[in-house]
Structure 1
Amino acid sequence: MTTAPDLHPKDRLLRTASRLFYAEGIHAVGVERLISEASVTRATFYRHYPSKDDLVSAYLTATAEDIRDAVGRARHDKSPREALRAVMAVLGDATLDDGFRGCQFLNAAAEYPDPGHPVRAVIDDQRTWLFEMLRDLSASLDHPDPDHAARVLVLLHDGAFQAAELDNAAVVRETLRRAVDEVFPAQDV
């Protein structure tokens, strides 16, 4: 399957990489295949991405931007409780997508175990953002320990993204939704 030829070569590479890395794994997809399926030359590949790891970082950065945009839209003009529910729904809804293969960041972390690797910096940045966003929402709900609440929600997110690939994604999503009300009982509002 090739990517739309009307896209700029850099965008074709990123779109192709995003599709293949997510579906098959980062290390399973070689540069030659990326070049072939994106319909670019080797020189074009290396002009835009000096290494495959640079393309991996771009893929994860683009994924993070998409998630952050979706979360921002979900939170907009909502009460803190409804914003948190909406955020967790956005995260849970991703598990229902056709071709769902788990969390891109957890998958990439499994392939890049060295915490000093540049790809891990992109993963760590997204994890920090997720934690801080959930901590801020927890604080806005006057949770007595917003750091702990955020850690619990991150664990729920991680578990949901792994479980949804293995179990019934709809049940996992509903469990994630219900967990918000259990971590933040109505009297805490």
Structure 2
Amino acid sequence: MTKTTDAPTTRPGTARERLLEAATALFYNEGIHSIGVDRIIEEAGVTRATMYKQFAGKEGLVLAYLEGEDQGLRGLFAQAAQASDDPAVLLDLVVDGIERDIRERHTRGCPFINAAAEYPDAGPVRELIADHREWFRETLRQLAAGAGLRDPDGVAASLVLLRDAALVGGYLDGQDRVGPAFARTARDLIAAYR
């Protein structure tokens, strides 16, 4: 009689990917400072040595988490650019994408605002956040200018502010209430500058 044993379960992805996936979920859902390295290691199913080899510490993992968030948003812009090269259409796609993000993905606020609250002092985390925000603002400014809107800088600043407010408001007041309000207000703003 042969005895069958369950094959050992292997977790998909590299150790780095598993660490980053675990950290992303934990940092976003529970906060960065409230999560210890041991919890991330346990969730990822790796050793402490592996974690430190991949990220050289928790701050390295925090930076990788925020870089992933930045790349995700840049990827959404790249996808929109494949749908159209008309800046006016792209602005509308950005509004749709942000509304979708509020409803489906970032339901606990903006990961950059959340991280900034936990890292109030100057340093690598705040530098990464500032770089992300500057890229986002400049991309919106370029779209507004390309669409022929008056005061592209003002439009971009206003859209960044609306997105910030909508991500926080969606968490506090519910995505179904805030998502449509964001989209309506953003489109009204864009129309006012045509």
Q: Same fold (TM over 0.5)?
A: yes
Return the index of the structure with the highest Cα Rg.
2
Q: CA contact under 8 A between 2:144 and 2:152: conserved in structure 1?
A: yes
AA aligned opposite 1:64: D
Q: Does 1:118 align with 2:163?
A: no
Distance 1:126 1:187 in 2: 25
1:92 pairs with 81, 99, 111, which one? 99
Instruction: Tell me the distance in 2 between the aligned counterparts of 1:187 and 1:149.
Output: 8
- The correspondence of residues 37-186 of structure 1 with structure 2, limited to 5 A, is 37-78=43-84, 79-97=86-104, 100-114=107-121, 116-185=122-191
> Structure 2: how far apart are the matches of 1:74 and 1:171?
25
Unaligned runs of at least 5 residues, structure 2: 1-9
- Structure 1: gaps spanning 5 or more residues: none
Distance 1:70 1:35, change over 3 A: same
What SS does the aligned partner of 2:69 have?
Answer: helix
How big is the alpha-carbon RMSD for the aligned residues of Structure 1 and Structure 2?
A: 1.7
CA separation of 1:50 and 1:74: change in aligned 2, threshold 3 A:
same
Given that 1:75 and 1:87 are in contact with CA atoms closer than 8 Å, whether structure 2 keeps it comes out as no
Of 14-23 and 161-170, deviating more is: 161-170
1:16 paired residue among 19, 22, 42: 22
Alpha-carbon shift at residue 179 of structure 1 (Å): 2.0
TM-score by length of 2: 0.89
Task: State the SS of the aligned residue for 1:76.
Answer: helix
The one-letter amino acid paired with 2:68 is A
1:31 equivalent in structure 2? 37
Task: Tell me by how many angstroms 1:131 deviates.
Answer: 0.2
Alpha-carbon distance change, 67 to 44 in structure 1, aligned in 2, over 3 angstroms: same
Percent sequence identity over matched residues? 40
Alignment match, 2:13: 7
Instruction: Compute the displacement of 1:168 (Å).
Output: 2.9
Whole-Å Cα distance in 1 between the matches of residues 102 and 193 of structure 2?
A: 30
8 Å contact from structure 1 (residues 31, 52) kept in 2: yes
Kindly tell me the number of residue pairs found equivalent between the two proteins: 184
Write the distance in 1 (CA, Å) between the matches of 2:31 and 2:142. 33
